[in-house]
Amino acid sequence: MVADSVPSLSVNLAPNYESGLLLTNPVMTASGTSGFGEDFSKITDVSGLGAFVTKTVTPKKRSGNPTPRTVETPSGMINSIGLPNPGIQGLLDQEAPHWESFGIPVIVSISGYSVDEFRYLASCLDGIEGVAGLEANFSCPNVDKGMEFATQADLLSEATTAIVESTSLPLIAKLSPNVTDMRPIAVAAQEAGAAALTIMNTIVGMKIDVIRRRPFIGGVTGGLSGPAIRPIGVRFVYQVYPEIDIPIVGAGGIRDSSDALEYIMAGASGIQVGTNNFVHPDTGLSIVAGLEKFLKSEEVSSVQEVVGIAHAEQY
Ligand SMILES: Cc1cc2nc3c(=O)[nH]c(=O)nc-3n(C[C@H](O)[C@H](O)[C@H](O)COP(=O)(O)O)c2cc1C
């Protein structure tokens, strides 16, 4: 790299799609940690991110799980929010009109109870201005049947096919860590036409309130997120990377550019920031700056060059 030249952070998350899914940098929000973007865009400059991933939307409005819905844990948090959202029609009426102003691709996270619900959501979002892609939340641990799609390869395959057939938008399949081996599920998603994979959602956990002698969280169990789960996410990305040809988006416990680089070197082309947005809403922006600084100091011209580099035989 020529000294002082700016390294490229750009990434295409859907190289197998004619339209592609082009991001100027690999850093995104993780679904559910910055709402549908209107409030988040008032507290940080979303235009500096690679893409905005919305909270998950379902066909019908949901009010979410009983409280308390969150609790802090050592190096993380447990949440059982239960996908409160305005439903697809509410989303299109109230939220979608803001997305054009973000100046970056918006990826809408969708979830359903059945293959037909996923199909329906995909067709509703097809052709909507400001929507650049879909992320299928096949892995929510906090709703009935939420995780079944990401733990059963045949079901995930059926839902992926249904989505892909109902829209020209690129689909990112979000997988669950609550499996023994993620590889066959990742391969099934690729074979069914997913453009990319997000690895990973939260890990099921719980806390007991010892004074009340009862589960602390209203939904009893919840999803553990934050730095505590990062080594697990990095491990899954590292294991899945050699098995597939589509891009991986890494998520789980990312706080800074060094954390992001762990995922990237394990095989992730993009990364998402979730829990740390609650601590510092500017986390994504500082990761972008940190990645650029790293590439410059290492004299690497493009972030693509370090994707999966931890698999290289020679240093
Ligand atoms: C409060 C909260 C709400 C979340 N809501 C969603 C959601 O609606 N859809 C989804 O796919 N993932 C959801 N997630 C999971 C995150 O997108 C992410 O996969 C996970 O938290 C791991 O990343 P992190 O450790 O950076 O938070 C949620 C996570 C948290 C902490």
What is the tens place of the pLDDT at every residue in 122-159? 999 999 999 999 999 998 766 666 668 989 999 999 99
Instruction: List the domain boundaries for the chain.
Output: 11-311
- Closest protein CA for atom 28 of ligand 1: 32
Better-scored residue on pLDDT, 146 or 183: 183
- Banded pLDDT at 313 (limits 50, 70, 90): confident
Q: Which CATH superfamily is 11-311 part of?
A: Aldolase class I (3.20.20.70)
Token pair, residue 224, equals 């553990």
Looking from the CA of residue 254, the nearest atom of ligand 1 is 26
Percent of the chain with pLDDT over 90: 92
pLDDT of 34-62, one tens digit each? 999 999 999 999 999 999 999 999 999 99
Reported as half-sphere exposure (CB side, CA atoms, 13 A), residue 77 has a value of 15
Residue 139: per-residue pLDDT: 80
Q: Is the pLDDT of residue 18 over 60?
A: yes
Res. 238 pLDDT band, cuts 50 70 90: very high
Other C-beta atoms within 10 Å of 62: how many?
Answer: 18
> By alpha-carbon position, which residue is closest to atom 6 of ligand 1?
32
The mean pLDDT of 3-12, rounded to a whole number, is: 88
User: Is it the case that residue 3 has pLDDT exceeding 60?
Assistant: no
Q: What is the pLDDT of residue 314?
A: 73
Closest residue CA from atom 5 of ligand 1: 32
Question: Ligand 1 test: best mutation among 27, 28, 29, 31, most atoms within 8 Å of CB?
Answer: 31
Q: What is the mean pLDDT of residues 260-285?
A: 98
Pocket test for ligand 1, best of 202, 248, 249, 280 (most atoms within 8 A of CB): 202
**Range 281-295 average pLDDT:** 98
Across the range 199-215, mean pLDDT stands at 97
- Ligand 1 nearest atom to the CA of residue 70, by list position: 1
The terminus-to-terminus CA distance of the chain in angstroms comes to 19
The larger pLDDT score, comparing residue 144 to residue 193, is at 193
Q: Which of 23, 140, 172, 188 is catalytic?
A: 140
Decide if 140 is catalytic: yes
String of b and e for 198-233 (b: at least 16 CB within 10 Å)? bbbbbbbbebeeeeeeeebbebeebbbbbbbbbebb
C-alpha 89/C-alpha 12 separation (Å) is 29
Q: How far apart are CA 73 and CA 313, in angstroms?
A: 38
Nearest in space to 56 (alpha carbons), one of 165, 130, 134, 126: 134
Q: Pocket residues for ligand 1 (CB within 6 Å)?
A: 30-33, 55-56, 79, 81, 83, 109, 137, 140, 174, 201-202, 225-226, 229, 251-254, 273-276
Distance 148 CA to ligand 1 centre (A): 17
What is the pTM for the complete model shown?
A: 0.97
Cα maximum dimension of the chain = 63
What is the band of 5 on the pLDDT scale with cuts at 50, 70, 90?
confident
| Residue of the CA atom closest to atom 11 of ligand 1 | 137
DSSP state of 185: H
